[in-house]
Amino acid sequence: MIRIPHVACLFLLSFILSSSIAAGTAPPSDTVIFGGDRVYPPFEWDDKGTPTGFHIDLENALAEIGKAKAEHRLDDWPVTTHALETGDVDVVPMLISDKRREKFLFTSAFYFMDHAIYAEQGTTKIPVLADLSGHTVAVEQTSYAQNKLETGYPDVHLILTGNTLEALQAVAQHKADYALLTTPTAEHLIRDQHLAVRRVSPPLWPQGYAFAVRKDRPDLLAWLQNSLNQAIVNGRYEAVYNAWRDRLEPTQTSSSQILKTSALIAGPLLLLAALGFGWSFTLRRRVAARTAELQDELKARKDMQAQLRHFADHDTHTGLPEYHHFIELGDKVLAEASSLPSPSKEMVVFKLAETETIIRTFGYSTGEGIIEEFAERLKGGHFDVTSYFGRGIFAVLCDQSTMNEAYDALSEQLETCGLGLYPQLICGIAHWPGHGTSCADLVKHAETALAVSIDRNHDCTTYDPTMEPDQTDLRIVAEFRKSGGTDLQAALQPQIDLKTGSIVGAEALVRWHHEELGFISPAKFIPLLEKAGLITKVTARMVDEAARISASLRRRGIDCTISVNVAVYDILETELPSIIKAALDRHGALASDLKLELTETSVAEDSEGIKIVLKELGTAGIYTSIDDFGTGYSSLSYLSSFPIRELKVDQMFVRDMVTCERNHSIVSSTIAMAHALGLSVVAEGAEDQETLTSLNALGCNRVQGYVISKPLSEDDFNAFLTKHQGTFSSTVH
Ligand code: C2E
Ligand code: MG
Ligand code: MG
């Protein structure tokens, strides 16, 4: 049998590991033909028409690694070697010898064959090579053993035989004291022929076995060597070897042989093992050092990936999982809990009630500090999973009593900035499994309950299916969550200066064409997204689009301010100024190219906080217009103290101002009041020429309406500008 001694195997591995591995070598042809002996188990043999054996598996592995197909042709050994010489086969695995090197090129050895001394059964003396002196020793003619003994041990009397079997028979028939043979073949024959001969020495002279190719095929050799190196480094060689280990190393599996042989050779083997251990230890250390290096690299990569994953999965301020990660973790918790006898959990989504007031009063960073301190408090609680959804809203998944027990501790005074605030929690609760089986369902239902708590001014509400909002509304919010606003587009509605007719600006109106739900009106989805706390994504997208479009217009020499609608959340709960600045920088737009439109109802709710942010924006050169003026809670007093530039009269007054006396006087007095405050006025919703003329007569500064144009796609807006050469119509004069 051919056998890889353990030490030799380690040597082989360390050698090949230390050699360089080509990044990839193209296969020399689609199919590589491997030759072999048809009766050479366990390496290669013809098993009822199917090539089988260690070599066959290894060759298949190499071909796969090298992205080629393997074909196997097994025949008598002389036929096989001849086929290699003539080119009928491409590769043949064989023992490396000087003589063969004259004809063939060899890969590095992929395993080793050793020799051993054989003697008659019952021989107790265990010879070392020197002990052979004076004895008759049978060896194969022209063999490696013959050469070694002739050159190193001239006192040995050699009996030369035609093959391995004859050498063994010489021992069995007392014609020779010993035989010195290659172990794989000898042991195979001893077993097969029931010879009363046994191995009596440890393994000697390991010799390399390798793949041979013709000398004119260095391309094939390079491909083979590369595949072999990769197989050894990526563990494929080891897997193939291990699959055949029992047959490649039969002495380790045949217990009777082990017992008998070990009785004979235990002593020297122990000695050898000790020596081998030393050698093996050194080599193991080399292999271990290289393995450790590779492991360190792998670990560093894994650490970096884990870090990136962590950033993606966690909120940067609080370090708590973001919504998507929270859902993943929560589903795992629920799956584990479902095997319990009476599983019960609850999802609590809650809001820190004062968030807006705190931000308004003490500034954004104080608000952030409070959220962070509260998040730390949550991390110390006995919750299964926690999350921060933004806008002062947190979620926890826990056992049903846990939140109740933690409530007092969570509501304790906060230390941030020494403000001595007591957090007030407004909660919505959904029970599991009663109110939903998945974590996402539970969050949805707990959010519904939270909305009810806020609406009804309650501290805590438990979900009830009757609270469910319209199914389409839920779908819209869910679909938006999925897309994150990436499928939103801006439509542009031109605004003209009534005095000159010049096209001086455009309002960017969000458009959402959903592939299944179709066109969804902003009047429908904007309020839903505001409630769900998702409006900031719309704003960020529209600010970016507006900056991009205005920068491109400026590059063409067109002066056209783009207005973006903003909601109160944008002003109070995001860093709107930095979002705007980033968009301007990204596209090379100017601050004066953008304008904000704020709905008056929002202003009325949060006038103080809004004032601070609007001032900051104004200082940066971005001006604000009050949208839909007249429909909210307008108050002259706050308007006069606001850093705003413009009022936008709502279309409900403008639309029929020509025919409706009451609306005409509302528009008229609004324009007069605005001018008295130093504000300019835009009228929106002008649908005909008479309205345009009437607005001009009242001194309205600008107009936006269907009489000029409906909202247009970017391309159509550009075409509109070109068509009107920047001036809409002189008929407005
Ligand atoms: P808005 O900001 O007051 O926008 C004006 C709305 O009036 C637009 O409807 C526009 O198409 C429509 N309009 C303009 N001129 C005329 C006219 O002559 N006749 C008629 N019948 N309608 C006219 P749209 O695009 O459906 O927007 C509705 C509302 O949705 C907007 O009212 C605004 O409150 C909100 N919205 C639109 N885009 C955004 C956005 O990007 N962010 C936010 N937060 N809200 C937006
Ligand atoms: Mg608007
Ligand atoms: Mg409006």
Sequential DSSP letters for 251-276: GGT-HHHHHHHHHHHHHHHHHHHHHH
Listed in sequence order, the residues at least 6 apart from 160 whose beta carbon sits closer than 8 Å to its beta carbon are: 138, 139, 140, 141, 146
Gap from CA of 159 to ligand 3 centroid (Å): 111
Classify residue 518 as left (phi > 0), alpha (psi -120 to 50) or beta.
left
Q: What ligand is nearest to the CA atom of residue 540?
A: 1
Q: What ligand is nearest to the CA atom of residue 628?
A: 3
Classify residue 6 as left (phi > 0), alpha (psi -120 to 50) or beta.
alpha
Gap from CA of 509 to ligand 2 centroid (Å): 7
The closest residue, in CA terms, to atom 12 on ligand 1 is 685
Q: How many helices (H) and strands (E) does the chain have?
A: 27, 27
- Nearest 5°: the CA angle 531, 536, 538 is 100
Q: Which residues line ligand 1 (CB under 6 A)?
A: 493, 509-510, 521-523, 526, 535, 538, 542, 565, 567, 597, 627-628, 651, 684-687, 704-706, 711
pLDDT at 364: 72
The closest residue, in CA terms, to atom 5 on ligand 1 is 684
Spans in the chain with pLDDT lower than 70: 1-24, 125-126, 250-284, 286-287, 290, 356-357, 360-361, 417, 573-574, 600-607, 632-641, 726, 729-733
The closest residue, in CA terms, to atom 28 on ligand 1 is 523
Q: What ligand is nearest to the CA atom of residue 564?
A: 1
For the CA of 521, the closest atom of ligand 1 is 26
Q: Which residues pair with 401 in a beta bridge?
A: none
Gap from CA of 508 to ligand 1 centroid (Å): 9
Q: What ligand is nearest to the CA atom of residue 595?
A: 2
**Do strands 69-75 and 518-520 pair parallel, antiparallel, or not at all (unpaired)?**
unpaired
Gap from CA of 565 to ligand 2 centroid (Å): 5
For the CA of 711, the closest atom of ligand 1 is 11
pLDDT at 492: 98
Give the Cα separation of 554 and 594 in Å (integer).
12
For the CA of 704, the closest atom of ligand 1 is 15
Architecture of the CATH domain 114-205: 3-Layer(aba) Sandwich (3.40)
The closest residue, in CA terms, to atom 20 on ligand 1 is 685
For the record, the structure tokens of 660 come out as 């409706």
Give the Cα separation of 428 and 411 in Å (integer).
16
DSSP state of 477: H
In a 3-state reduction of DSSP, which class is residue 474?
helix
Q: Which residue among 493, 495, 563, 565 is best mutated to probe the pocket of ligand 1, counting the most ligand atoms within 8 A of its Cβ?
A: 565
pLDDT at 542: 97
pLDDT at 637: 54
Q: Please give the full DSSP string across 99-141, using - where no structure is assigned.
A: HHHHHEEE---SEEEEEEEEEETT------GGGGTTSEEEEET
For the record, the structure tokens of 90 come out as 């491409």
**Do strands 204-214 and 111-120 pair parallel, antiparallel, or not at all (unpaired)?**
antiparallel
Which class does domain 323-467 fall in?
Answer: alpha beta
For the CA of 654, the closest atom of ligand 1 is 18
Specify the CATH superfamily of domain 474-732. Answer: EAL domain (3.20.20.450)
Gap from CA of 672 to ligand 3 centroid (Å): 19
Count the Cβ atoms, other than its own, within 10 Å of residue 268: 15
Q: Which residue among 489, 507, 509 is best mutated to probe the pocket of ligand 1, counting the most ligand atoms within 8 A of its Cβ?
A: 509
Burial class (CB in 10 A: 0-12, 13-18, 19+), 130: exposed
For the record, the structure tokens of 294 come out as 């590779």
Gap from CA of 627 to ligand 3 centroid (Å): 5
pLDDT at 12: 38
The closest residue, in CA terms, to atom 36 on ligand 1 is 522
Q: Which residue among 513, 526, 624 is best mutated to probe the pocket of ligand 1, counting the most ligand atoms within 8 A of its Cβ?
A: 526
The closest residue, in CA terms, to atom 16 on ligand 1 is 685
Q: Hey, what CATH topology would domain 6-111+208-248 get?
A: D-Maltodextrin-Binding Protein; domain 2 (3.40.190)
Q: What ligand is nearest to the CA atom of residue 571?
A: 1
Give the Cα separation of 693 and 680 in Å (integer).
18
